[in-house]
Amino acid sequence: MPCRASVAAMFSIPTIDRELIAKYNLAGPRYTSYPTALQFSASVDQGELLADSLAENGPLSLYVHLPFCESLCWFCACTTVITNNRDRADDYLDYLELELRLYRAHMRPGRFGGAFCILVVDPRVFLTFAQLQRLMAMLRANFTFAPNAELSIELDPRTLDEAKVALLAESGFNRASFGVQDVNPDVQRAVHRIQPSSMNRECIGWIRKYGIRSLNVDLIYGLPLQTVASFGATLDEVISYQPDRLAVFSYAHVPWVAPAQKILERQGKLPGPDEKLSMLELIIARLTDAGYVFIGMDHFAKADDSLAVAQREGKLQRNFQGYSTHAGLEICAFGMSSISQTSNSYRQNFKDLEVYQSRLAAGQLPIERGYRLSADDKLRRTLIMRLMCDFAIDFAAMSHLLNVDFKQYFRAELLGLQDMQADGLLLVDDGHLEVTAAGRLLIRNIAMRFDAHWKPAEKRHAKTI
């Protein structure tokens, strides 16, 4: 159970203090993993990474990365392949099948039966009917899905029709997510993604009709031509969809990672930091007024959604998919650029499609790089994840969880929080650390104080707000 302080912290609605945000808003990680992918290295011993996988037992979570999109949204920083040619997905599925087969040799025998399985297929349902059926058959041939498994899929209303939603529901998908970003047609033109609201409503109608029980919608603020007023209209429209969860991301302008963002820069004025903060203020006010709970970072959920319930019960987790209700599961990820996670390590596949395929054609798993966690990394990983989920730390409970004297082990870090305490981001007493309402939006910056790898000069991340 979470401590009293953490319950108070998780129910508080974040407040925006512009001076504090200006002072602390440095570039920093999103902590979907610790250490972050920046620490992954090609020189890590792949045999050891695979031995870590073989040592795992019990439930697991599956993730499949499908890279194909019909056209590029200019804000996008995902690993994509832009094509209209559906046949390319057939080839890709051939290689995925090979990857699954090769991977089986690195799983404990007998682990396939009864594995608790969460499947996330990403992104966008580019696949045809037959290709989707083949993918699901392939996965079910290699893994046993638990009866209560969560099967999530990223959809794109622009490529969806009713028959495909029916097939998804029949294949067992019970969670769906799609991006709206902004409903204003001018903004949509500026980001090269035309998606009328009527299309969103139709798509949601099918999702509900076929019994896909949970819907998440993604929005982005900070895009060209957006204003506080225009984003207010987007929020009103999206609240009327009644999604179970909402992720409202701050646009991360990282053209050195996503070159298409250079085109986006030329499409109109990007809102400045002050206007973005006003948008954030509006987002928090409108969504909490509409009954959504602020989960953390950019995530909101209905009070009875499993994310909000897990947070109230101190069981919320964080992984590569963001906030999650499933604790400590091994993540087996397939497809180009995908990242797998075991208790001891991370490993990532090649991001380049040709290299990914050529490795598999040569009979090798397409692992490009990885990271093995030290004992210290594991302690910090648990601490940072609890901080990101609970917004509070009970020192006695954390000592018990980590099997170290928490105050002693993290003495230097706790002493280093004095400026944040003085500025009202944190309350620290002899037994607890609690993030205040003013500190909630700066949770990444607070977590960074416990990150042994982060360097203040690190510029490769986007700003935290």
Number of residues this chain uses to bind ligand SF4 (CB under 6 A): 10
Closest CB 209 distance from ligand SF4, rounded Å: 24
Rg (CA), the chain: 22
Which is nearer to ligand SF4, 33 or 181 (by Cβ)?
181
Q: Interface with ligand SF4 includes 451 (CB under 6 A)?
A: no
Q: Interface with ligand SF4 includes 123 (CB under 6 A)?
A: yes
- Give the CB-side neighbour count of residue 111, counting CA atoms within 13 A: 19
Q: Interface with ligand SF4 includes 263 (CB under 6 A)?
A: no
Q: Of 72-80, 377-385, 392-400, 450-458, which part binds ligand SF4 (CB under 6 A)?
A: 72-80
Q: Of 49-57, 75-83, 286-294, 455-463, which part binds ligand SF4 (CB under 6 A)?
A: 75-83
Q: What are phi and psi of 452, to 5 degrees?
A: -80, -10
Which is nearer to ligand SF4, 254 or 309 (by Cβ)?
254
Alpha helices in 192-344 (DSSP H): 197-209, 228-241, 261-265, 273-289, 306-312
Which residue reads 């989960």 in tokens? 295
Taking alpha carbons only, the member of 250, 118, 234 closest to residue 174 is: 118
Alpha helices in 290-374 (DSSP H): 306-312, 353-361
Among 73, 125, 136, 155, which residue interacts with ligand SF4 (rule: CB under 6 A)? 73
Q: Interface with ligand SF4 includes 286 (CB under 6 A)?
A: no
Q: Interface with ligand SF4 includes 76 (CB under 6 A)?
A: yes
CB-count exposure of residue 129 (10 Å: 0-12, 13-18, 19+): exposed
**How far is 118 from 213, CA to CA, in rounded Å?**
15
Q: Interface with ligand SF4 includes 69 (CB under 6 A)?
A: yes
Which is nearer to ligand SF4, 82 or 452 (by Cβ)?
82
Q: Among residue numbers 35 through 64, which ones bind ligand SF4 (CB under 6 A)?
A: none
Among 26, 38, 51, 72, which residue interacts with ligand SF4 (rule: CB under 6 A)? 72
Which is nearer to ligand SF4, 50 or 96 (by Cβ)?
96
The CA angle 117-118-124, to the nearest 5 degrees, is 140
Q: Interface with ligand SF4 includes 81 (CB under 6 A)?
A: no
CB-count exposure of residue 379 (10 Å: 0-12, 13-18, 19+): buried
Q: Contact 449/413 with Cβ under 8 angstroms?
A: yes
Alpha helices in 39-83 (DSSP H): 46-55
Which residue reads 């002899």 in tokens? 430
- DSSP-derived secondary structure letter, 223: -
Among 25, 53, 80, 349, which residue interacts with ligand SF4 (rule: CB under 6 A)? 80
Which is nearer to ligand SF4, 124 or 286 (by Cβ)?
124
Which is nearer to ligand SF4, 124 or 326 (by Cβ)?
124
Which residue reads 């090649």 in tokens? 350
Which is nearer to ligand SF4, 76 or 107 (by Cβ)?
76
| 3-state DSSP assignment of residue 340 | strand
Q: Interface with ligand SF4 includes 124 (CB under 6 A)?
A: yes
Closest CB 73 distance from ligand SF4, rounded Å: 3
Q: Interface with ligand SF4 includes 285 (CB under 6 A)?
A: no
Structure tokens, 455: 């360097």
Q: Interface with ligand SF4 includes 180 (CB under 6 A)?
A: no
Q: Among residue numbers 369 through 398, which ones bind ligand SF4 (CB under 6 A)?
A: none
Among 78, 102, 282, 427, which residue interacts with ligand SF4 (rule: CB under 6 A)? 78
- What one-letter code names the amino acid at 353? L
Q: Interface with ligand SF4 includes 17 (CB under 6 A)?
A: no
Which is nearer to ligand SF4, 83 or 144 (by Cβ)?
83
Q: Interface with ligand SF4 includes 217 (CB under 6 A)?
A: no
- Partners of 433 in the β-ladder: 393, 428
CB-count exposure of residue 239 (10 Å: 0-12, 13-18, 19+): middle
Taking alpha carbons only, the member of 239, 254, 321, 322 closest to residue 286 is: 239
Structure tokens, 460: 């490769």
Residues binding ligand SF4 (CB under 6 A): 69, 72-73, 76, 78, 80, 123-124, 156, 179
